[in-house]
Amino acid sequence: MTTSNKSQIAKKNEFKERIINYFNEHKKGSYNYKQVSVALGIDGRKNQYMVADLLDDLTEGGFLIELIPGKYQASEITSTSEGTFVRRSNGKNSVLIDNSDVPIFVAERNSMHALNGDRVKVLLCAQRRGAEPEAKVVEVIEKKDQVFIGTLKVDKNFAFLSTDSKYLASDIFIPKNKLKGGCTGDKAIARIVQWNDDDKSPIGEVVDVLGRTGENNSEMNAILAEFGLPYVYPKNVEAAANKIDAGITPEEIARREDFRGVTTFTIDPRDAKDFDDALSIRRLDNGNWEVGVHIADVTHYVLPGSIIDKEAEKRATSVYLVDRTVPMLPERLCNGICSLRPDEEKLAFSCIFELDEYANIINHRICRTVIKSDRRFTYEEAQEVIETGKGDFAEEILELDKLAKILRKRRFDNGAVNFDRFEVRFEIDETGHPVSVYFKVSKDANKLIEEFMLLANKQVATEIGKPKGKKKPKPFVYRIHDNPDPDKMANFSEIAARFGYKVKTKGKASEVNNSLNKMLVSVKGHAEENLLSILAIRSMAKAVYSTVNIGHYGLAFDYYTHFTSPIRRYPDMMVHRLLDRYLNGGRAVSKDKLEGECKHSSDMEQLAANAERASIKYKQVEYMSDRLGQVYEGTVSGVTEWGLYVEIDENKCEGMVPIRDLADDYYEFDEKNYCLIGRRYRHMYQLGDKLTIQVARADLNKKQLDFAIVDEVGESPVLDKSGNVVKPSKEKSKKSTSNKSQAKLSQKKSKRKRR
């Protein structure tokens, strides 16, 4: 063996060892050969090609997994491993192995009919060079309790539940004696009870019949059931609430600070019934203002471990759909005993602040109180007082507004992110059918309440998280918000730049956020406002509950919690109990147990948000189903491999132009640049493009809107009865012909150059 060969082998072994060490240190990352080379300081084309060969060798040896061609990740998988099964209706099933975020493909023939979320044991199949890794389910260890929602079809001898679940491709066979009274056309919930290896469809039983498909109540309850959320309130819990004594005894009043004689009022949405919070204000002798943030004392009535408490803990949050509120607490508590209604004595847990004219906190205290609200304001009524300076308690509202604006400015100066977005709302008729769309905008009255709630939440978290002296903080519930992912921020900055906006992605958090806020202000009133606002939010981490305090990035607070909404959020009830315990010298609670409760609350909050979005999407599709064939101006709000998402400018309803309907060319998805590019004529569709669209299809079962693009001169495409494009518009054809001519001309020019 020559010296040169020995040197080459030594170098290869050295590179291999360094690559193995690198992937061991970055187990959850995925990298191509160039990224690995740069990370290890390996330059030169020859050396980098050696890295590429070594990555292939390590994949064949099972150390790495090639996620997609050229992209590698450390394999955490032994010959048999356990994980969570992920079922998809499109057949792209996979398994997420424990301690790894690598999805491994599982063919249906190798799935043992495992359902989405089941715990499974899998065997990793031998991976061929360049092929996608595969796994085979060898045992279903634990079945996840789950149900499926769909429409019943009952024939003479059998019945089926037809589902639109993204987790199940087949219908569910229902024996006639397991229908629970369901008929053809009923919306129903079913559970799978058996799925034999040779059966194409699983066998199930009906759990509940929700009503007729298409009826508002059935569909809203179906959305709740789809996300595993309760749609009825247990009778025994309501009965327990009805037995609670609402009376406030003189002994209880004596144990509290009495604010019944201090000007106090609530400001809430016009349709609100559960009033969590009230504000009091009075001028002190020294000229400062005393502002009380009074929160319903729910935990005075709901005792730990009681049947009401257990139900509230399980639900963790109230759920707000388009047409209803699904409460966390029984109605007697949330709308009655605990609600801070005007002219009624109520028990509260309060943060009392002494503020100077510059909204600096001079003193504060946290205590239990008794209050009596003088007035119930809607946001609109309070806004009118702010704008005109006239009305009930005008002096008090104007002073609170002045202080709130100082607090708000200070918060943004410290680096808080200004996500001040409008919300889409529907006016619905008595049957629940949407008749119009309007936008809910946050005005000064909303921001007034927001600032004082933030102030109280911050103060409570600081009180426990930053004790005086050398005391260690005791376990507590924090509302945390992590720093944004650098890659997501970089992607967002690139997209914003296409619209002419500059967003910093590096530097101090306050500098990055000030740059982001400047963009969010500049974009106001422009067509791309909603798109860029949504993309900015998506670039951020999700806020969650945790015992580990890392601060709240979006608010720029070192300490933050949720204290102000115990009627509708269980974490606030947890905070009330911990606060009472610690302020009275109580011992620390179990941090592990508390963390488990935090995670459950975060998970339920996410489910509730998903259900709310699903109800909005359903109403958007229902609203647009009355407008099939109508033409609107829209903005491309998303680009995927299966088509373009377009948001209608007028009403913010979003639909899709399927890629199959872009009939003038074969379009391919450019993931890096968020665009679709025609293979032949290079026509491009990208985020932010303005399009004229026609409403083609509205599928309520799938909550899906399909649009068709109208050409530049206003001619609509020809659609079949199902809304599919059968013939593109003439202008499209002209454009294609024109592009074709340009392509030929370009080829001729390039030939001349080569000559």
Measured distance CA(655)–CA(707) in Å, rounded: 6
pLDDT tens digits, residue range 452-468?
999 999 999 999 999 98
Q: What is the mean pLDDT of the segment spanning 397-401?
A: 98
Question: What percent of the chain is modeled with pLDDT above 70?
Answer: 91
Measured distance CA(51)–CA(54) in Å, rounded: 5
Model confidence band, residue 731 (pLDDT cutoffs 50, 70, 90): very low
Measured distance CA(423)–CA(652) in Å, rounded: 10
- pLDDT for res 321: 95
Q: What is the pTM for the complete model shown? A: 0.82
* Residue 740 pLDDT greater than 50, yes or no: no
- Is 556 in contact with 509 (CB distance < 8 Å)? yes
The number of C-alpha atoms within 13 Å of 83 and in the hemisphere containing its C-beta is: 30
For 455, other C-beta atoms within 10 Å of its C-beta total: 23
pLDDT tens digits, residue range 496-520?
888 889 888 887 877 888 888 888 8
Model confidence band, residue 746 (pLDDT cutoffs 50, 70, 90): very low
- pLDDT for res 728: 55
Distances (CA, A) of 461 to 257, 392, 479, 743: 22, 34, 9, 64
Full DSSP string of 357-388 = TT--EEEEEEEEEEEEBSEEEEHHHHHHHHHH
Both tokens of residue 692? 């004229």
* Residue 719 pLDDT greater than 60, yes or no: no
- Is 377 in contact with 391 (CB distance < 8 Å)? no
Least confident stretch, 284-298, 304-318, 377-391, 679-693:
679-693
Strands of 125-167, DSSP E = 135-142, 148-154, 159-163
Alpha-carbon radius of gyration of the chain: 30
pLDDT tens digits, residue range 526-555?
777 777 888 888 888 899 999 999 999 999
* Residue 730 pLDDT greater than 70, yes or no: no
Both tokens of residue 207? 């759990």
Distances (CA, A) of 463 to 410, 467, 561: 20, 6, 11
Measured distance CA(480)–CA(50) in Å, rounded: 44
- pLDDT for res 561: 98
pLDDT tens digits, residue range 23-69?
878 877 788 898 999 889 998 888 888 999 899 888 877 778 777 77
Q: What is the mean pLDDT of the segment spanning 220-236?
A: 93
Least confident stretch, 8-17, 58-67, 418-427:
58-67
Q: What is the mean pLDDT of the segment spanning 678-703?
A: 91
747 CB-near residues (< 8 Å, 6+ apart):
none
- pLDDT for res 247: 86
Question: 3-state DSSP call for residue 79?
Answer: coil
Cα of 754 vs its chain's centroid, Å? 55
Cα of 614 vs its chain's centroid, Å? 11
Q: Identify the CA nearest to 594 among candidates 563, 573, 580.
A: 573
Q: Mean pLDDT, the chain, as a whole number?
A: 88
Model confidence band, residue 328 (pLDDT cutoffs 50, 70, 90): very high
- pLDDT for res 735: 43
pLDDT tens digits, residue range 186-213?
999 999 999 887 788 899 999 999 999 9
363 burial level (CB within 10 Å; 0-12, 13-18, 19+): exposed
Show the CA angle centred on residue 175, arms to residues 174 and 179, nearest 5°.
70
Cα of 31 vs its chain's centroid, Å? 28
The number of C-alpha atoms within 13 Å of 227 and in the hemisphere containing its C-beta is: 24
* Residue 369 pLDDT greater than 90, yes or no: yes
Model confidence band, residue 753 (pLDDT cutoffs 50, 70, 90): very low
Measured distance CA(193)–CA(673) in Å, rounded: 46
Model confidence band, residue 722 (pLDDT cutoffs 50, 70, 90): low
pLDDT tens digits, residue range 291-322?
999 999 999 999 999 999 999 999 999 999 99
**AA identity, residue 297:** D
The residue that leads in pLDDT, 669 or 673, is 669
Q: Identify the CA nearest to 84 among candidates 68, 100, 72, 63.
A: 100
Would you state the torsion angle of the CA atoms of residues 230, 233, 237, 242, taken in this order, to the nearest 10 degrees?
A: 150
Both tokens of residue 373? 């609200």
The number of C-alpha atoms within 13 Å of 308 and in the hemisphere containing its C-beta is: 23
Full DSSP string of 648-705 = ETTT--EEEEEGGG-TTS-EEEETTTTEEEETTT--EEETT-EEEEEEEEEETTTTEE
- pLDDT for res 716: 56
The residue that leads in pLDDT, 576 or 39, is 576
671 CB-near residues (< 8 Å, 6+ apart):
641
Q: What is the mean pLDDT of the segment spanning 18-22?
A: 88
Model confidence band, residue 419 (pLDDT cutoffs 50, 70, 90): confident
Measured distance CA(627)–CA(693) in Å, rounded: 12
Q: What is the mean pLDDT of the segment spanning 147-174?
A: 90
pLDDT tens digits, residue range 239-248?
999 999 988 9
Q: Identify the CA nearest to 553 among candidates 540, 565, 562, 563.
A: 540
Both tokens of residue 145? 């309790």
